[in-house]
Amino acid sequence: MPEAELLYACGYAIAGADQSRFAEALQAVAEADIVLVTLGGKHGTCSMSSMGEGVDASNINLPPCQDAFIKAAAEYGKPLIGIHFDGRPISSDTADACLDAILEAWSPAECGAQVVADALLGDYNPGGRLPVSVAYHAGQIPIYYDHPHGSAWHQGESIGFVKPDVLSAVVCTIVGVAAGSRSR
């Protein structure tokens, strides 16, 4: 894309609710034909980062500043593409409602910029399949996509689960009643 003009503005920090840099970034949105919004956090360890080894989060949503910027940028009516850099999947109702596309880049390392550019330019088609399950909110965590009966099945009757044969009988009875009631 040698004929393309790129505008860059830093609209927000990786965390917090500071909106003091929105004006410059929204000016760039107003002048753009398409907007690429980088989302997510900073990889590292301890307090210097928002993701990585030893960095846990009780809130898996985007920071308030990022959600607020997405809302503000969406008001311009320009196509918005979110590029999410993080060690965990994106969880944001705002991103879901306002972005036209989301590219999950994870923590891409040295060749990440080239891979993201290839995907955005259509030289690589990521296929739209994720190798993990994505939570809607922190209350869903932990999510285990490879457990045949859910993440807590191994606890058995200790927290109220019934045995598989009893569960089958209950499901069959409920299905039978529902089918019978519709035919009357």
Q: What is the CATH number of the domain that holds 100?
A: 3.40.50.1700
On whether both 38 and 128 belong to a single domain, the answer is: yes
Please tell me whether residues 65 and 93 are part of one structural domain. yes
Q: Are residues 31 and 100 in the same domain?
A: yes
The residue segments making up the domain with residue 178 are: 147-184
pLDDT band at 30 (very low <50, low <70, confident <90, very high): very high
Mean pLDDT on 29-49? 83
The domain tally of the chain equals 2
Which residues, at least 6 apart from 41, have a Cβ–Cβ distance to it below 8 Å?
Answer: 14, 15, 49, 50, 51, 63, 85, 86, 87
Do 45 and 101 belong together in one domain?
yes
Q: Are 65 and 17 in contact (CB under 8 A)?
A: yes
Residue 177 has pLDDT above 60, yes or no: no
User: Do 118 and 177 belong together in one domain?
Assistant: no
Residue 83: CB atoms within 10 Å:
20
Report the pLDDT averaged over residues 2-23: 89
**Structural contact between residues 85 and 36, judged by C-beta atoms closer than 8 angstroms:** no
At residue 16 the predicted structure's pLDDT band, cuts being 50, 70 and 90, is confident
